[in-house]
Amino acid sequence: MPKGSLSVMSEAFRALKPQVFIPSSVLIIGLIVFSVVFSATAEGAFAELNKAITSGVGWWYILVTTGFVLFAIYCGASRIGTIRLGADDEEPEFTFIAWLAMLFSAGMGIGLVFYGVAEPLTHYVDPPASLGVDGATAPAANQALSLTLFHWGLHAWAIYVVVGLGMAYMTYRRQRPLSVRWLLEPLIGKNRVEGPIGHAVDVVAVVGTLFGVATSLGFGITQIGAGLQYLGWIELDNTWTLVLIAVITAMATFSVVSGVAKGMQWLSNINMALAAALALFVIALGPTLFLLQAWVQNLGGYAQALPQLSLRTGPFSDGSWLGSWTIFYWGWWISWAPFVGMFIARISRGRTIREFVTTVLLVPTVIGSLWFTIFGDSAILRQRTDGDMVVDGAVDSNTSLFQLLSTLPWPTITGVAAVLVIMFFFITSSDSGSLVIDILCSGGDLDPPKATRVYWSVLEGVAAAVLLLVGGAGSLTALQTASIATAAPFSLVMVAACVAMLRAFRYDLATTPRLLHVTAPDLPASHRRHDVSATMAGLVAVRTITPADWEIHPATGELSISEPIDPLADGEVTPGADPSQEQCPTEEAR
């Protein structure tokens, strides 16, 4: 091996944290081998595990996920929201649009494409019996979107807020490594965080992340292949499966090696543009007015159903629907929280906590509601009028998007666009997942070695390929359940992280001085504004200022403070002036 390659490899291994890298690799490879060699046994074992999770800790998932929503809202709405994720005068690292595109692509972009048609249509055809709505009816259509938005809205993104906010704060505000373990430092102390407890937390995060990305890659390959086959371009077989996995893995590897500011940002921006174009196409050439009306109603229906659904555990029903949908989703999102949360933290430097919470919690929820309305309600309307979206009473999630696009003009072009969107979303999920795992295994290094980035990216592709070609769908289902099972211990870590972060935030607020701008109004008392209390009237006016309001001259160190801009300043009377008196020019002006 050339000397240069040896030095690169040695540098990569020196940067690794063996207490995390070795156990994670052994567990991942061992579970892959087990799932392949004992495919039928693994499928049965993990199916039983899934039932045990649903009946045993499903109530816990529902309780803590709603608690995460309340935690996120509290942090954003209270004084905690004024804390900046970085130095007080630090500017955001990425533009708002680039930031939004990356967090959305890494978070749920791929799921929106896959289930934008399939989930609302499924809830319409086969709604939960315990809610008392018959399938394939108008009430079922309205309820279908409320249930879908519940699964993809505030609760899902609040899970990511907890991990992402805590990691961004500890890394950029308190200068700790970017690693999940440091969320617990305010609660258990630095020594325990750097010991076996911290190693175990990071190992769980690595295993859950890799299995989540690998199983999604595996399912996604079957969906991309099914789409190409639906278009009549290929006959999906093992060769095509390998080709698709190789292409996506190669592009993801190139992207993760190039870094966040280059490959990931470019791919995310391109993908968001393609997804937006596809949505605009459907809304423009589909039932436009109907979709606009449906979107407003869906937002209202979601807001109305939210209190009822948030703590619904179904103790008097069999719970099978909750286990298949709500509990499954909450476990799935929690298992992905280390991956998505860390990636969001990585790209959120310089944002305030209020900006972080508001954007991460609300913007994707609103965009998701629009997406599901466009695709989900279009499919439901098509099924109600033509009845050709459901085959033998079931919804095919692999091809339902392509079925809908085939009912609109230029189905081949839009079908290709849909395949590209799916592929790019997989690439951005894979490369960001590989980067997150590498950061965890490198002790929180924000710029881990490229060699280990390649290792994790390739391992994800190999895992998906082996499972698909050897173990089949049973192995993927088993590992998906294993990934969800990691949510049980990690949910405890997240609850502890909420307590720890509240301690850290309160200390930050208590010890960080508030900056006030004090002025002495020089207006006559009769014209003085009434936004200062009576005790302070005639003395001083005080307002809190943020780092964005001041500037320090680099040479002289002089502090200058920008005044608020009055939106009514142009052509308006100056505050304190008498509008009944015209301003007469002076003798000098004449």
Residue 6 confidence (pLDDT): 46
DSSP output for 562-574: PPPPPTT-TT-PP
Using the predicted structure, report yes or no on whether residue 43 has a pLDDT greater than 90: no
Give the Cα separation of 157 and 149 in Å (integer): 12
Does an H or E element contain 544, and which?
Answer: strand 541-544
Average pLDDT along the chain: 82
- Residue 84 CA: distances (Å) to CA of 165, 338, 511, 565: 11, 22, 14, 23
Using the predicted structure, report yes or no on whether residue 590 has a pLDDT greater than 50: no
Cβ neighbors of 433 (< 8 A, separation 6 or more) are 209, 210, 212, 213, 339, 343, 456, 460
Q: What is the pLDDT of residues 12-27, one digit of tens each?
A: 455 678 899 999 999 8
The two three-digit tokens of residue 90, written as one number: 């630090």
208-229: average pLDDT:
79
Q: What is the pLDDT of residues 155-207, one digit of tens each?
A: 999 999 999 999 999 999 999 988 899 999 999 999 999 999 999 999 988 98
User: Which range among 251-260, 318-327, 383-392, 393-402 shows the weakest confidence by mean pLDDT?
Assistant: 251-260
Q: What is the pLDDT of residues 133-152, one digit of tens each?
A: 999 999 999 999 999 999 99
- Residue 433 CA: distances (Å) to CA of 32, 448, 572: 18, 13, 55
| Cβ contact 179:440 at 8 Å | yes
64-77: average pLDDT:
97
Cβ neighbors of 488 (< 8 A, separation 6 or more) are 53, 57, 60, 331
- Residue 534 CA: distances (Å) to CA of 17, 519, 521: 61, 16, 14
Angle at 548 between CA 547 and CA 553, to 5 degrees: 75
| Cβ contact 84:350 at 8 Å | yes
| Cβ contact 495:71 at 8 Å | no
Using the predicted structure, report yes or no on whether residue 426 has a pLDDT greater than 60: yes
- Of the candidates 148, 108, 149, which has an alpha carbon nearest to the alpha carbon of residue 124? 148
Q: Is 579 exposed, middle or buried (0-12, 13-18, 19+ CB in 10 A)?
A: exposed
Give the Cα separation of 308 and 521 in Å (integer): 52
DSSP output for 65-88: HHHHHHHHHHHHHSGGGG-BSS-T
pLDDT range class, residue 9, cuts 50, 70, 90: very low
| Cβ contact 477:43 at 8 Å | yes
Residue 516 confidence (pLDDT): 73
Q: What is the pTM assigned to this prediction?
A: 0.84
Pairing of strands 516-519, 541-544: antiparallel
Q: Is 541 helix (H, G, I), strand (E, B) or coil?
A: strand
Give the Cα separation of 251 and 342 in Å (integer): 22
The two three-digit tokens of residue 164, written as one number: 């992402």
Give the Cα separation of 489 and 337 in Å (integer): 12
Q: What is the pLDDT of residues 322-378, one digit of tens each?
A: 888 898 889 888 888 888 888 889 889 999 999 999 999 998 899 899 999 999 999
- Of the candidates 231, 264, 228, which has an alpha carbon nearest to the alpha carbon of residue 244? 228
The radius of gyration of the chain from alpha carbons, rounded to an integer in Å, stands at 27
Give the Cα separation of 489 and 205 in Å (integer): 10
Alpha helices by DSSP H, listed for 325-445, are 326-346, 353-372, 378-385, 400-405, 411-441
- Write the single-letter amino acid at 206: V
- Residue 289 CA: distances (Å) to CA of 279, 294, 378: 15, 9, 11
pLDDT range class, residue 320, cuts 50, 70, 90: confident
Give the Cα separation of 148 and 45 in Å (integer): 29
Q: Is 561 helix (H, G, I), strand (E, B) or coil?
A: strand
Please report, in angstroms and rounded to a whole number, the separation of the first and last CA atoms in the chain. 90
Give the Cα separation of 393 and 374 in Å (integer): 22
Q: How many CA atoms lie within 13 A of 34 on its CB side?
A: 15
573-590: average pLDDT:
42
| Cβ contact 106:344 at 8 Å | yes
State phi, psi for 548 to the nearest 5 degrees: -70, -15
Which position has the token pair 């019996």? 129
- Of the candidates 394, 338, 320, which has an alpha carbon nearest to the alpha carbon of residue 50? 320
Q: Is 520 helix (H, G, I), strand (E, B) or coil?
A: coil
- Of the candidates 42, 47, 36, 44, which has an alpha carbon nearest to the alpha carbon of residue 469? 36
| Cβ contact 435:457 at 8 Å | no
Using the predicted structure, report yes or no on whether residue 97 has a pLDDT greater than 60: yes
Residue 88 confidence (pLDDT): 83
Q: What is the pLDDT of residues 474-516, one digit of tens each?
A: 666 666 676 677 788 899 999 999 999 999 999 999 887 777 7
573-581: average pLDDT:
45
Cβ neighbors of 28 (< 8 A, separation 6 or more) are 206, 207, 210, 211, 459, 463
Using the predicted structure, report yes or no on whether residue 431 has a pLDDT greater than 50: yes
| Cβ contact 368:115 at 8 Å | no
User: Which range among 39-48, 203-212, 536-545 shows the weakest confidence by mean pLDDT?
Assistant: 536-545
